[in-house]
């Protein structure tokens, strides 16, 4: 128990350090929130307007069950930010620490190495939640989204997805430690993950085989549950099954990710490549 | 400037290009990304468009009316190919100079007799190879994935549009280069400008769906003309004659921006020399 | 604290050169990469409370040995216990009582203050929260960084950063400190300060294992020194003992102008009063390094030999025997080649 408390304290210190350093690059922090707005949301809303009939997104009503493009897309940012927490927080942080030479002294301490992934992911999740809340508020106040976010459902959804996101963090951490230049792979994986989760479009427009992959992602179910609650869209699957799949896919991702991390950790101890970046 | 110095500068340009190519080749991730992104990014928007059309005739008719074409995939792929090219252009000179400044090699470069134009435009010119590559990948993807074929005549017309648009885009990139040297970190500034271009230049939509004030902003930006004209020649069969007015505007913008970039860069260099800033990070 | 800080037997580390491609892995091809032995059967016995040095040229295996003892690297073979714990199976227990300075001043967070850096690492070292503030204040005082504790590290000089790195290593109140080339990159004053600090650490009862390629540093600081070359320990003793083994107390460096054919004869004449450790010819000049018990006895011999062999004595230097000479006599090379 004592050891668990020590590891938890260390994880908190790691998350706090990540947030401290992040906040000190102020412009970057702002950009992190604003980027999805101009890169994804606005082009998406305007593309929707190109198909609108009488100012209504009647096409979206057919495929997703709502005409509220703005609400649909802005809420989709939740999936984008959650996935980014897993992909980018860990990948970016580890790469930075490797380049700066600060990972090695941290690994000289008795703190478990996987605790670093936990801490970095936690920092990413905090940023993801803040970014999503800000974007949703912008959507409501500036773009007229008709969201009735029922926050009570957000909490268990986020809590369960967090485990899946941690699994992504483990996987990505393992990749970054193994590869000298993993940027492309992390970027591409992040993009595919977010696209297949239904952030920008309902997954029903995807080919059947690809839809199967979507169902394996926890963010697909997290996003769907949030949209059902906030926009009254019909769920992809019966609700109890959505919840079950959210739990199962999050847990599976966590187990697989952690196994990959532990293997990589051991490989590093044998090959000793940590200091050679 | 005599013949010998022009030849020397040309050699320096070529050396800069070869250096970029060598570095790119050594990072396989970079090569892969030049195949992946030109296809993946617009494909996501194609799926999004499918969702917005809902498989209905009236929504597709609305699209056709607003864009002048029913080739949704072609419309989106061309827009996003230009976006990617724009990213390279905006990032290219700015980051190249900034990287040299951080590495400490900028001073060394400035000590050489190479023309400042080599320093400013060299990296961007070398990236031209990748710009052409992107359009080739997009063309092949459209043909294989969506049955959209682009014939040699259309390709030639597109090349004409690109050639006219190049000075404007590269001038913007060079302007950024000058600003980077003067003010340091501009990552956020580049993202901001890139964001503006993405939001109003019609990468994934016709500018007619923008509010009136935003359309005015869009019409003052070179990428708007570039995208619209590329779509016109590639997707609607327009000849160059039909878009002559746009091309004239694009060429004019290019000239003005190029002059601004050179002036800004000269002033920045002077300022940096006076203040000892070239070596400063 | 156990009486023996480090006990290692047959510690070996092999590395593979190059990488295997993904394609090779998928095809389960045999690993044909060349193996390179960085550490070759090192035996170590470091007593608690001593300053133990590992001296050798670059690439001798010093850093690899340190990284193994710091639990960052797993040995290929061999056994070791550090502070009574097995190196491989009880790595975390070792790290709880170990302080290490391995990668120097580059390994700090520049966008955090010194205090913030230490607070962060205190948590990683599992320092109880109630003790953290006090311990950090104490350590900052020890390394003379108290008044700059709240400045960003990016504003620090190299010397200050090195002191902060040492401060970080002191956070777990370590019984054992590993210092890898701790004075590299420091100006002479900063290096001197650091050496004084190392001596103080021993006086506090801590064990220090340090690596260096500066023989004066090893000579000055260490209670015992292991000289390593090509991954092996070639000698181990106190500094005085190592020099004694040379069977010489002085080193005479000679420069002689003369025909090359006389070289062998000159060397033979000098061997009667000493041992010629190094001999090179450059631009018509013969350079000799001779180890002897007494330079006063050797010098007349040198003059006679030069006259007899038609050579001219151009330069002569007499110095006390140093560890560099010990290294040369053991390996035939200089430490800084």
Mean pLDDT across A101-115: 91
Q: How far is CA C236 from CA A235, C16, C38, C52, in A?
A: 74, 29, 19, 10
Q: Report yes or no: B4 at the A interface, CB cutoff 8 Å.
A: no
Q: What is the pLDDT of residues A135-154, one digit of tens each?
A: 888 888 888 877 665 666 78
| pLDDT digit string, tens, across residues A174-183 | 999 988 778 8
- Shortest CA distance from C125: residue in chain A: A109
Judge whether C8 and C79 are in contact, CB under 8 Å.
Answer: yes
Checking if the pLDDT of B224 tops 60, the result is yes
Confidence (pTM)? 0.81
Q: How confident is the model at residue B95 (pLDDT cuts 50, 70, 90)?
A: low
Mutate to test the interface with B, among A27, A33, A59, A191 (most CBs of B within 10 A): A59
B219: pLDDT confidence band, cut at 50, 70 and 90? very high
Residue B262: the pLDDT is 83
Contacts of A195 in chain B (CB under 8 A): 40, 44, 47
Q: Give the closest residue to C190 by CA, choosing from C165, C227, C225, C223.
A: C165
According to the per-residue pLDDT averaged within each range, which of B148-157, B182-191, B253-262, C76-85 is highest?
A: C76-85
Predicted local distance difference test score (pLDDT) of residue B51: 97
Between chains, do C102 and A104 touch, taking CB under 8 Å as contact? yes
Å between B115 CA and nearest CA of chain A? 33
- Please count the CA atoms within 13 angstroms of the CA of B33 that sit on its side-chain side: 19
- For the segment B206-233, the average pLDDT, to the nearest whole number, is 93
In a domain, residue B258? The reply is: yes
Least confident of A107-111, A163-167, B109-113, B223-227: B109-113
Q: What strands, in cross-sheet order, belong to the sheet with C274-282?
A: C274-282, C285-292, C250-257, C312-320
Q: Answer whether residue B280 is part of any domain.
A: no
In this model, does residue B111 exceed pLDDT 80? Answer: no
- The more confidently predicted of residues B108 and B169 is B169
Whole-number pLDDT of residue C105: 58
Mean pLDDT of B155-174: 85
Domains of chain C, first to last: 4-243 (3.40.50.300), 247-320 (3.30.70.1710)
Rounded Cα distance between A225 and A223, Å, is: 5
Query: Per-residue b/e over C255-284, b at no fewer than 16 CB within 10 Å?
Result: ebebeeebbeebeebbeebbebbbeeeeee
The partner residue sitting opposite B47, judged by closest CB among A35, A46, A205, is A205
Residue B281 within any structural domain of the chain: no
Span A152-164, average pLDDT: 87
Q: For chain B, which chains pass the contact test of at least 3 CB pairs under 8 Å?
A: A
Q: Within the 3-32 window of chain A, which residues sit less than 8 Å (CB to CB) from chain C?
A: 6, 9-10, 12-14, 16-17, 20-21, 24-25
Count of the separate structural domains present in chain B: 1
Q: Would you call B62 and A53 a contact, using CB atoms and an 8 Å cutoff?
A: yes
Across all residues in chain B, what is the average pLDDT? 80
- Confidence check: pLDDT of B117 > 80: no
pLDDT for residue C236 is more than 70: yes
- CA dist B174 and B273 (Å) reads 19
Give one DSSP letter per residue of B231-248, joined into a string: HHHHHS---GGGGHHHHH
Is it the case that chain C and chain B have 3 or more CB pairs lying under 8 Å apart? no
Q: What is chain A's mean pLDDT, rounded?
A: 89
* Residues paired with C278 in a beta bridge: C289
In a domain, B231, yes or no: yes
Helical residues (DSSP H) of C13-105, grouped into ranges: 22-26, 62-69, 91-96
pLDDT in the model for residue A277: 39
pLDDT band at C40 (very low <50, low <70, confident <90, very high): very high
Q: Which residues in chain C are closer than 8 Å to A105, comparing Cβ atoms?
A: 100, 102-103, 107, 121, 165, 168
Helix (H) or strand (E) holding C41: strand C35-47
Contact between C252 and C270 (Cβ < 8 Å) = no
Asked which of A9-13, B58-62, B116-120, B125-129 is least confident by mean pLDDT, the reply is B116-120
Does B33 sit within 8 Å of A38, measured CB to CB?
Answer: no
> Which three-class secondary structure state does DSSP give residue A240?
helix
CB atoms within 10 A of CB B104: 12
Spatial neighbors of B215 by CB under 8 A, at least 6 apart, are: B207, B208
Structure tokens at A76: 């989709």
**ipTM of this predicted structure:** 0.91
Residue C51 — very low, low, confident or very high, per pLDDT cuts 50/70/90? very high
Contact C126 A101 (CB under 8 A): no
Beta bridge partners of residue C45, listed in sequence order: C7
Comparing CB atoms, the residue among C95, C102, C123 nearest residue A9 is C123
Assess contact for C40 and C230: CB atoms under 8 A.
Answer: yes
Q: Check CB contact under 8 Å for A43 and B205.
A: yes
Provide the chain B residues 244-263 that lie in CB contact (below 8 A) with chain A.
Answer: none
Q: Is residue B40 part of a domain?
A: yes
Structure confidence at residue B281 as a pLDDT band (50, 70, 90): very low
Tell me the mean pLDDT in the region A28-39: 79
B44 falls within a domain: yes
- State the residue range of the domain holding B79: 3-275
CB contact under 8 A, A108 and C74: no
Q: What is the pLDDT of residue A223?
A: 93
* Mean pLDDT, residues A63-69: 93
Contacts of C131 (CB under 8 A, 6+ apart): none
Mean pLDDT value of segment C264-273: 87
Q: What is the mean pLDDT of residues B209-235?
A: 92
Task: Quote the pLDDT of residue B278.
Answer: 55
């Amino acid at each position: 128990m004592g050891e668990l408390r020590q590891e938890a304290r260390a994880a908190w210190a790691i998350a706090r350090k990540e947030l401290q350093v992040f906040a000190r690059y102020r412009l970057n922090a702002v950009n992190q929130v604003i980027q999805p707005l101009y890169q994804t949301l606005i082009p998406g809303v305007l593309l929707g307007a190109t198909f609108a009939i009488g100012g209504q997104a009647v096409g979206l009503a057919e495929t997703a069950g709502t005409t509220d493009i703005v609400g649909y897309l802005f809420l989709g940012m939740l999936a984008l930010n959650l996935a980014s927490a897993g992909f980018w927080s860990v990948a970016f942080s580890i790469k930075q620490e490797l380049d700066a030479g600060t990972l090695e002294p941290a690994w000289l301490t008795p703190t478990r190495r996987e605790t670093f992934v936990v801490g970095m992911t936690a920092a990413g999740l905090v940023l993801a939640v803040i970014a999503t809340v800000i974007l949703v508020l912008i959507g409501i106040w500036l773009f007229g989204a008709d969201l009735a976010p029922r926050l009570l459902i957000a909490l268990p959804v986020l809590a369960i997805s967090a485990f899946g996101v941690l699994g992504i963090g483990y996987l990505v951490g393992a990749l970054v430690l193994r590869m000298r230049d993993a940027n492309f792979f992390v970027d591409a994986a992040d993009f595919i993950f977010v696209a297949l989760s239904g952030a920008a479009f309902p997954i029903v427009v995807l080919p059947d085989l690809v839809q199967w992959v979507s169902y394996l992602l926890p963010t697909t179910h997290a996003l769907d549950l949030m949209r059902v609650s906030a926009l009254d869209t019909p769920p992809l699957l019966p609700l109890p099954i959505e919840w079950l799949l959210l739990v199962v896919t999050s847990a599976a991702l966590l187990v697989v990710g952690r196994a990959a991390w532990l293997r990589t950790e051991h490989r590093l101890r044998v090959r000793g490549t940590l200091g050679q970046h | 400037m005599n013949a010998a110095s022009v030849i020397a500068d040309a050699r320096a340009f070529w050396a800069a290009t070869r250096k970029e190519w060598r570095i790119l080749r050594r990072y396989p991730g970079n090569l892969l990304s030049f195949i992946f992104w030109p296809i993946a990014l617009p494909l996501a928007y194609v799926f999004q468009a499918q969702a917005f059309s809902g498989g209905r005739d009236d929504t597709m008719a609305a699209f056709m009316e607003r864009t002048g074409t029913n080739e949704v995939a072609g419309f989106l792929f061309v827009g996003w190919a230009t976006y990617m090219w724009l990213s390279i252009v905006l990032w290219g000179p700015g980051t190249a100079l900034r990287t040299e400044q951080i590495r400490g090699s900028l001073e060394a470069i400035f000590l050489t007799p190479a023309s400042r134009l080599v320093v400013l435009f060299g990296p961007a010119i070398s990236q031209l190879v990748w710009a052409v590559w992107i359009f080739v990948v997009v063309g092949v993807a459209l043909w294989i994935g969506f049955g959209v074929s682009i014939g040699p005549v259309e390709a030639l017309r597109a090349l004409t549009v690109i050639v006219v648009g190049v000075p404007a885009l590269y001038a913007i990139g060079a302007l950024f280069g000058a600003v980077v040297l003067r003010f340091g970190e501009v990552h956020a500034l580049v993202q901001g400008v890139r964001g503006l271009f993405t939001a109003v230049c019609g990468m994934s939509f016709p500018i007619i769906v923008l509010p009136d004030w935003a359309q005015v902003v869009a019409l003052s930006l070179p990428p708007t003309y570039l995208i619209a004209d590329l779509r016109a020649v590639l997707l609607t069969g327009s000849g160059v004659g039909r878009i002559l007015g746009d091309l004239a505007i694009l060429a004019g913008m290019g000239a003005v921006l190029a002059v601004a970039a050179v002036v800004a860069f000269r002033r920045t260099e002077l300022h940096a020399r006076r203040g000892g800033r070239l070596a400063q990070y | 604290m156990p009486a023996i800080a480090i006990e290692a037997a047959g510690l070996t580390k092999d590395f593979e050169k190059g990488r295997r491609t993904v394609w090779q892995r998928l095809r389960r091809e045999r690993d044909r990469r060349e193996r390179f032995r960085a550490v070759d059967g090192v035996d170590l016995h470091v007593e608690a409370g001593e300053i133990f040095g590992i001296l050798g040229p670059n690439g001798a295996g010093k850093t690899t040995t340190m990284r193994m003892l710091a639990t960052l690297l797993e040995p290929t073979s061999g056994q070791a216990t550090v502070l009574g714990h097995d190196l491989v199976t009880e790595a975390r227990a070792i790290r709880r009582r170990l302080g290490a300075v391995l990668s120097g001043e580059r390994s700090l967070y520049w966008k955090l203050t010194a205090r913030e850096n230490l607070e962060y690492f205190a948590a990683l070292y599992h320092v109880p929260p109630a003790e953290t503030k006090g311990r950090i204040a104490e350590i900052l005082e020890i390394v003379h960084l108290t008044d700059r504790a709240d400045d960003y590290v990016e504003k620090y000089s190299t010397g200050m950063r090195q002191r902060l790195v040492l401060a970080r290593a002191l956070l777990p109140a370590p019984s054992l400190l590993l210092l890898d080339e701790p004075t590299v990159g420091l100006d002479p004053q900063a290096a001197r300060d650091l050496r004084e600090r190392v001596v103080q650490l021993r006086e506090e009862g801590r064990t220090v294992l340090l690596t260096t390629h500066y023989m004066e540093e090893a000579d000055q600081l260490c209670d015992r020194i292991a000289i390593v070359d090509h991954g092996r320990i070639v000698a181990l003793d106190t500094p005085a003992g190592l020099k004694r083994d040379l069977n010489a107390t002085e080193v005479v460096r000679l420069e002689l102008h003369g025909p090359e054919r006389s070289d062998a004869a000159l060397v033979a004449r000098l061997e009667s009063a000493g041992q010629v450790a190094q001999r090179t010819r450059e631009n018509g000049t013969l350079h000799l390094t001779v180890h002897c018990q007494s330079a006063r006895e050797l010098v007349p011999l040198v003059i006679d030999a030069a006259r007899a062999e038609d050579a001219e004595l151009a330069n002569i230097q007499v110095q006390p025997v140093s560890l560099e000479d010990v290294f040369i006599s053991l390996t035939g090379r200089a430490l800084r080649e």
